[in-house]
Amino acid sequence: MLTKAIKIIVGSIAGAVILLAVAALAIYNFRCNDEFFTMSLHNLFMLIISIGVAYFLVQRKIDERRYQDGQIKVIEKIISDIQKSLSDDILSNDWNDNLIKLREINNKISVLKRVCSGYNEELMQNVDYIQDNFNELRELYEDIDSKYTRQNEEIPPDQGQSIKNLSNKIISKSDNLWVDLYTKK
């Protein structure tokens, strides 16, 4: 924390010194050089074109970066929502609530797939892996619902463990997706 404050102070002092030096040089040149503002039409035209092109290129890069930052924020939100939903014990809640939660997660995975489509292939493979495991989780959950819950029977421990394992796989892969988002472009 202290080093950040020192960097800001040193940077400000260096900026002020450079600004004063440039201003002093400009004043000296203006007073001593009679042709200070004299410029040919060709030089003026080239200056305007170079400033315009530089501005356009910088502005385009800023727009691309803002777009990517927006995508990353959406992806982060979706991943955290998926992880939060799956980290709850899905077997201890009301089954109807869980079915709604599974539909919400499925919708979020669909949006995640759409948003990630512009990124590299490895990122899309992670999203596909999440989608496949989620489909397996949903099928297992619906199977448990039809076999045990509707019959008012107790759910076997291996079925509950299978749901937890699939949830953990999805959470783990979404962590990898999060890391890949920042490290691989």
pLDDT reported for residue 93: 60
Cα gap 136→165, rounded to integer Å: 11
pLDDT reported for residue 1: 52
In a domain, 69, yes or no: yes
In a domain, 161, yes or no: yes
In a domain, 45, yes or no: no
For residue 147, what is the domain's CATH number?
A: 1.20.120.330
pLDDT in tens, 62-107: 888 887 787 778 777 877 777 777 666 655 666 677 778 888 888 8
pLDDT reported for residue 185: 56
**Residue 74: domain span:** 54-183
The tally of domains found in the chain comes to 2
pLDDT reported for residue 144: 77
The ranges of the chain with pLDDT < 50 are: none
pLDDT reported for residue 17: 93
Cα gap 28→26, rounded to integer Å: 5
pLDDT reported for residue 49: 92
Residues 71, 32 within the same domain: no
Residues 138, 176 within the same domain: yes
